[in-house]
């Protein structure tokens, strides 16, 4: 009988062979860890065999590591998570990745890095070198050997560091002198991944440290309110996360979060939103409402690829409304009071707003661009009654069930018999085999693909992003990601019927669109 160790080893070997074959067949080299990230280097993942192989390798390697390490060491890899977070935040805020990019592949001495970053070289050196728990307990000079052991940055020579594929993800692409001259604009006009990393290393991390206090306090232990969260304790806040972002002294966090949403989108394949629904099946001039759509990153892809539909992007005044201009007034892209969404659309697709193909709708203050709708928030009646599709991308997971039910109810009351509802969040799988699956309903995509034995059914760490999202929703909003069964029951209670779950295994997506129709 094959041991678990050997089974895992065999899975790794066979999957590595399959991965290298897939790359060779497509004439795509497997990217080196020592080279900076580029979108082109990810092309091999479009091959389903290659994507499956990477998931199996990652899941098996991690499971094998946990099995062979002493249990104390395996546990401390988790216990030490706060040190990893702290070290990464120092490097992100100090623009270490940008400094190393300008320093070149030969690397820079830690004293030179620290001089450019204006921080202590001994403390920084320790953070860069190790990123492994056994050295984080030592003092300054040795405590700084922390990130390279986890393959974030590369130690080229003693105390000399360079970027690698992982650390380059924190690169804003900006010059160091530009960041120093205007640190509050560090993330402006960037791809957004560094911004979302900053959000997680800041608000999310600080909030997570109060999770136990929130769960053990009788006044908040069972709360489903978005203003009784670990975030509220961490920031001494009485309102919600959105209240925090709306405060005048939180303008940097607000802008960073908005830009970071583009970074989240970048974690998905560029065409992911196009696979969420058969958009080309919609008749010309069909109305798609992007509910809580932020700056409209998802809608931009739709507008570019499905030009015959009309799109309404709805969001809060802090995102859409501040600085908007009266309806029917000619808009100058250089207008100093234009907010991020308008600047975003003028840069990416300037004709969309002027033509009426896209509308940005403030959900609270009755201000819109181009054609007019009554303002609303999504807990009150939805004003658009002729929508062909209501699209909610990473919205439902922000709200606990009582509030999610209110949103779905308002949309159902505004829906036509043929309106489609598309919810895009992480549909949570179990770590074990789920014998109940979709309870025999035969809903396409409801049953996830399971990993081969002896791996965890959910592919373990290869699918960890879904669980990170789930815990993020808990500490910020008292909410969660949901299973298929949970979603189906909630939809049914509000007059919707779950009809499909779209699982794009080839793309390695951590988001799974769910399609529903009105119950007639």
pLDDT tens digits for range 162-177: 999 999 999 999 999 9
Whether the CB-CB separation of 513 and 277 falls below 8 Å is answered with: yes
Q: What is the pLDDT of residues 38-55, one digit of tens each?
A: 988 989 988 889 999 999
Q: Pick the catalytic residue: 397, 433, 486, 492?
A: 397
Residue spans of the domains in the chain: they are 4-68, 79-120+131-181, 199-267, 272-518
Whether the CB-CB separation of 151 and 168 falls below 8 Å is answered with: no
* Cβ-Cβ contacts under 8 Å for 475 (sequence gap 6 or more): 204, 207, 208, 210, 211, 229, 230, 231
CATH of 79-120+131-181, one of 1.10.10.10, 1.20.59.20, 3.40.228.10, 3.40.50.1100: 1.10.10.10
CA 232 vs CA 74, 211, 241: distances in Å:
32, 11, 8
Distance of alpha carbon 24 from alpha carbon 110, whole angstroms: 39
pLDDT at 442: 83
Cis peptide before 29 (omega within 30 of 0): no
Distance of alpha carbon 97 from alpha carbon 87, whole angstroms: 13
pLDDT at 332: 44
Domains 79-120+131-181 and 272-518 share a fold: no
pLDDT at 338: 47
272-518 has which fold? Rossmann fold (3.40.50)
CA 252 vs CA 139, 255, 258, 369, 472: distances in Å:
33, 5, 10, 25, 20
Is 505 part of the annotated catalytic residue set? no
pLDDT at 319: 54
Taking 70 as the pLDDT cut, the residues of the chain under it are: 1, 119-145, 270, 316-342, 362-376, 437, 505-509
Alpha-carbon torsion angle 517, 471, 128, 97, nearest 10:
30
pTM for this entry: 0.85
Residues in the chain: 520
Burial group, residue 248, by CB count within 10 angstroms (0-12, 13-18, 19+): exposed
Terminal-residue alpha carbon distance, the chain:
55
Whether the CB-CB separation of 357 and 310 falls below 8 Å is answered with: yes
Q: Judging by DSSP bridges, how do beta strands 512-518 and 496-501 pair with one another?
A: antiparallel
Q: 255, 124, 127, 241: which is closest to 183 by C-alpha?
A: 255
- Distance from CA of residue 280 to its chain's centroid? 27
Whether the CB-CB separation of 418 and 388 falls below 8 Å is answered with: yes
């Amino acid at each position: 009988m094959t041991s678990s160790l050997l089974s895992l080893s065999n899975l790794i070997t066979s999957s590595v062979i399959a991965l290298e074959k897939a790359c060779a067949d497509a004439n795509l080299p497997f990217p080196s860890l020592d080279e900076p990230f580029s979108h082109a280097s990810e092309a091999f993942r479009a091959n389903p065999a290659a994507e499956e192989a990477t998931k199996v390798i990652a899941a098996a390697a991690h499971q094998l590591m946990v099995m062979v390490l002493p249990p104390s060491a395996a546990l401390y890899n988790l216990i030490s998570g706060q040190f990893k977070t702290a070290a990464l935040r120092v490097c992100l805020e100090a623009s270490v990745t940008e400094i190393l990019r300008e320093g070149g592949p030969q690397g820079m001495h830690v004293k030179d890095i620290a001089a450019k970053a204006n921080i202590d070289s001994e403390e920084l050196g320790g953070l860069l070198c190790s990123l492994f728990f056994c050295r984080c307990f030592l003092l300054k000079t040795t405590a700084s050997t922390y990130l390279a052991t986890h393959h974030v940055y590369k130690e080229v020579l003693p105390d000399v560091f360079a970027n690698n594929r992982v650390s380059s993800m924190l690169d804003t692409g900006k010059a160091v002198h530009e960041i120093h001259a205007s640190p509050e604009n560090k993330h402006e006009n960037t791809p957004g991944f560094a911004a979302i990393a900053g959000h997680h290393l800041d608000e999310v991390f600080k909030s997570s440290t109060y999770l136990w206090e929130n769960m053990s306090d009788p006044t908040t232990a069972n709360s489903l309110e978005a203003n009784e969260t670990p975030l509220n304790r961490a920031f001494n806040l009485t309102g919600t996360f959105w209240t925090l972002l709306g405060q005048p002294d939180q303008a940097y966090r607000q802008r960073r979060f908005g830009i970071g949403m583009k970074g989240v989108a970048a974690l998905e394949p560029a065409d992911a939103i196009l696979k969420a629904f058969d958009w080309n099946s919609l008749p010309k001039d069909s109305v798609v409402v992007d509910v809580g759509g932020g700056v409209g990153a998802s809608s931009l892809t739709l507008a570019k690829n499905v030009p015959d539909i009309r799109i309404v992007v709805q969001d809060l005044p802090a995102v859409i409304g501040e600085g908007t201009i009266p309806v029917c007034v000619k808009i100058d892209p250089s207008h100093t009071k234009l907010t991020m969404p308008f600047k975003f659309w003028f840069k990416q697709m300037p004709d969309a707003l002027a033509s009426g193909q896209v509308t940005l709708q403030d959900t609270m203050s009755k201000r819109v661009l181009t054609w007019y709708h009554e303002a609303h928030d999504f807990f009150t009646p939805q004003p658009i009654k002729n929508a062909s599709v209501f699209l909610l991308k990473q919205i439902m997971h922000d709200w606990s069930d009582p509030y999610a039910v209110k949103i779905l109810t308002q949309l159902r009351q505004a829906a036509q018999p043929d309106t489609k509802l598309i919810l895009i969040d992480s549909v949570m799988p179990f770590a074990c085999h789920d014998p109940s699956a979709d309870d025999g309903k035969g809903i396409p995509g409801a049953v996830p693909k399971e990993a081969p034995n002896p791996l965890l059914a959910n592919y373990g760490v290869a699918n960890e992003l879904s669980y990170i999202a789930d815990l993020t929703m808990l500490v910020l909003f008292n909410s969660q990601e949901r299973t298929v069964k949970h979603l189906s029951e909630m939809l049914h209670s509000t007059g919707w019927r779950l009809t499909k779950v779209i699982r794009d295994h080839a793309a390695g997506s951590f988001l799974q669109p769910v399609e529903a129709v009105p119950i007639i």
